[in-house]
Amino acid sequence: MKKISPTLLAAAVASALFNTQSAIADDSANEHINDTAENIENTEHISIIGGQASLNKTAGSVARIDELALEAYEFDDIARVLATVPGVNIRQEDGFGLRPNIGFRGVTPERSKKINIMEDGILIGPAPYSAPAAYYFPIVSKMTAVEVTKGPSTIKYGPNTVAGALNLVTRSIPADAEGSLDLAFGTDGYYKAHTYYGSSVDKFGFLFEGITLGSAGFKDLDGGGDTGFEKNDLSAKFSYDLSSASNATQQYFELKLGYSDEISDETYLGLTDEDFAKTPNRRYAASQLDSIDWEHTQIQLTHVATNEDWEFTTRVYRHDFQRAWNKLDEFGSSFNGDIPSLQQILISPNSDENIGFYNVLTGQADSTAREILVLGNNDREFFSQGIQMSGSASAELFALEHTLNVGIRMHEDEIQRNHTQANYFMRAGQLVSTMEDRVSTTTNTEFTRAWSVFIEDTIEFDALTITAGIRGELIEGEYQNRAPGFEQDFQNKTTRIWLPSISAYYALNDNAGIFGGVHQGFVPTSPIQPESIEVEQSNNFEIGYRFVDNGNRAEVIAFFSDYSNLLESCSISAGCDTDTTFAAGDVDVYGLEALGAYTFELSNGLSLPITLSYTHTQSEFKQTFYSPFNQWGFVDVGNKVPYLAENMISMNAALQASKWDVSVLISYTDGMPESAQTALSGDIRDSTLAGVVTDDLFNIDLSAGYNLGSAGRMYAKVDNILDSNDIVSRRPFGARPSKPRQFVLGYRYSF
């Protein structure tokens, strides 16, 4: 075996992140590394889910957006990045995608809490088990690939196996000295500065990367004020190669350090429909103090050992996250009594009960003691740490070629909530403290220690490849109320589950194949949830056809998720004030994903790659019930799950020449129901948004670049070229707009 270069080993590290994809790859791990290295040379990015060949033979839906595709649009918003991936449903919120809501195959997208979000193969959510809401999301602008795994392959990436995994891939350490400086400016005070430099010297490699990103915001606050954000991200990678020509086993270490922060003047407060129609980008005066401030640090140490027969990866990680979001939560009254929710006020602002509150919200009237604005500061500290080991080996057994993948992870995470509230009066359009003491609302800790194992065997027999696997989770959760006098308010909870999967790919010929699979879906409950709230479980099925020929591609997949217990965890972003979990029992979600990609080679060296993607999703509750969860309310059999668009379609086309390129991304998403309840019944417990749907979303993004040779590359882009103003959702409180048209001009110098 020849000596593996740092670059190859870097590729191996990256490959190991989604380690088992190498098993689906053609042959041995070593060949996989070579295959990956080839990709590096060809496309200047590292594939972590194997080369294209492995993707083509995957029994299940796996999609990758590579660095070239990411650079084409320079998107900072994961929602726009994922627009071309079928089976991805997203509820937009702030327009920038700062805290995205992503679901796959119909799982509700609320705070992306039902998918596994990973960075370089490691769970990156603040506390994926104890508090899965992804209030931290890695900065997309610096990623070199984005990968989406759905279907049976999901079983390798717990804890949430019901939907899939989203993996964000950071830049790998380059083999030779390499760097880049990317500067961009745009409308609404948009700016981005992104630079990196890395190299490998003998056995030592390093990479430094930094990015700062911000905007003055596109919303107009009543009375003036900032509505934008600032984000910074610094990271460093160091590697050391222990490989030697004399040793058959090659080894490699990599240390990754990261720091990021964000301050954004973001709010949960939207608008009434009437105000949205007049000025969609308005923000009411009551949101003038709203701001979130967070810091995130990460340290990851990776060791890879590999030889001709096996590879083994060990990863140790620790992430810390602190956030404080001070924002308008609700109205209060010194007289107690009935106080409408912000959602109720914004849906019916002119009613007798609500008009006074609406006038205060908009700053048109001063507060009385009956209309006190309550600002909650949800201060939370998280950590997530663990060690995960995975390996793969190939062997011939009973005259069949087996590729075995195994993994084990010991993970711990914790959330400490230190929530407080303070009261304000509206006075002449300004929020003025009532001078009352700030009070504690929620003071508790949730901690989880989870052991996960999986084993998966892939057996090849002629044209048929069968993969069977099982995942086990042992989850020990601890909840403790830390408020004085509530020492006995605690719970220790243990959950065990085995989650099997099986899938098959049958090659019809060298270019086409059919595949199918079934796996058990699972979403754990957090430590605070009582035993009576059962974990979410589902049986997930998929069947598909794939055709691949020299980069052109067609894929159709039908999926069906049979939930035996659909859960929703309700937070303020969903319109609640607690992290309560609600259960809906049996729910069916099914649909179709289709993808087509074809490159037209034109005259004069021009090429025109086009990608079309389509997703159709249907959902239905299988029983009639009432739930106090405000996205459900009174639900009848057959009602649809909220925030799932029936039809989503997108087209990505580019005209590419040697010196220049122009790309256009056109997407359409059906309006989505904002509640499972289809109409108001007059009952006080009605879901406030019963029967209300979001706008149909039609969006066109355009980008163009010109290569200046050694002098770099100029690029320009226009997001939302039609400047359409659509209601993307009415949650948490009121109608919220999509990002308006934005012009950006940038320059990148690489060496």
Partner 1 sequence: MTKRIVKTAIALAVASIIVGCGESTSTETGAQFGQQDRVVDNTFNETALLTSLVDKVIVPTYLEFAQNALALQNAIDNYCGALSSQTDASGDLANAQASWQTAMTTWQLAEMMQIGPLLENGSNLRNKIYSWPNVSSCAVDQDVVNAEAQDYDIRLRTSSRKGLDALEYTLFNTNLNHSCTAFGTAPDGWNNRPDDARMIARCHYSLIAANDLVENANVLVDAWQGSEGYGEILKNAGQQLSDFTSALEAVNDVSDSMFYLTEVTKDAKLATPVGLFANDCGLSPCVENAESVYSDHSLQNIIANLKAFQTLFFGGSEADVGFDDFLVEEGDAETAEKMKQDLAAAISFAESLNSSYETLLSEQADQVEALHENVKTVTDTLKTDFIQSLALELPATSAGDND
- Report the interface residues with partner 1, using CB under 8 A: 333-338, 351-353, 356, 359, 365, 368-370, 372, 423, 425, 434-436, 439, 441, 461-462, 464, 466, 468, 470, 479, 481, 486-502, 504, 518-520, 522, 525, 530-531, 534-535, 537, 539, 683-684
Q: Which is nearer to partner 1, 531 or 549 (CB)?
A: 531
- Find the shortest distance in angstroms from Cβ 280 to partner 1: 25
- Find the shortest distance in angstroms from Cβ 123 to partner 1: 21
Distance CA 597, CA 70 (A): 16
For residue 359, give the 3-state DSSP assignment.
Answer: helix
- Cβ atoms 160, 522 nearer than 8 A: yes
- Find the shortest distance in angstroms from Cβ 577 to partner 1: 10
Distance CA 714, CA 467 (A): 46
Q: Which is nearer to partner 1, 260 or 630 (CB)?
A: 630
Distance CA 223, CA 211 (A): 32
Distance CA 602, CA 658 (A): 13
Q: Which is nearer to partner 1, 351 or 750 (CB)?
A: 351
For residue 155, give the 3-state DSSP assignment.
Answer: helix
Q: Which is nearer to partner 1, 383 or 425 (CB)?
A: 425
Q: Which is nearer to partner 1, 247 or 334 (CB)?
A: 334
- Find the shortest distance in angstroms from Cβ 506 to partner 1: 9
Burial bucket for residue 451 (CB in 10 Å: 0-12, 13-18, 19+): middle
DSSP 253-297: EEEEEEEEEEEE---SB-B-HHHHHH-TTEE-GGGTT-EEEEEEE
- Cβ atoms 169, 14 nearer than 8 A: yes
Where on the phi/psi map is residue 201: left (φ > 0), alpha (ψ -120 to 50), or beta?
Answer: beta
Distance CA 467, CA 470 (A): 10
- Find the shortest distance in angstroms from Cβ 467 to partner 1: 10
Q: Which is nearer to partner 1, 245 or 432 (CB)?
A: 432
Distance CA 583, CA 565 (A): 6
Distance CA 137, CA 120 (A): 13
- Find the shortest distance in angstroms from Cβ 74 to partner 1: 43
- Find the shortest distance in angstroms from Cβ 351 to partner 1: 8
- Find the shortest distance in angstroms from Cβ 637 to partner 1: 24
Q: Which is nearer to partner 1, 158 or 270 (CB)?
A: 158
Q: Which is nearer to partner 1, 23 or 148 (CB)?
A: 23
- Find the shortest distance in angstroms from Cβ 26 to partner 1: 20
- Cβ atoms 375, 434 nearer than 8 A: no
Which helix or strand (DSSP H or E) is residue 148 part of?
strand 145-150
Helix boundaries (H) for 333-452: 342-347, 355-361
Q: Which is nearer to partner 1, 467 or 720 (CB)?
A: 467
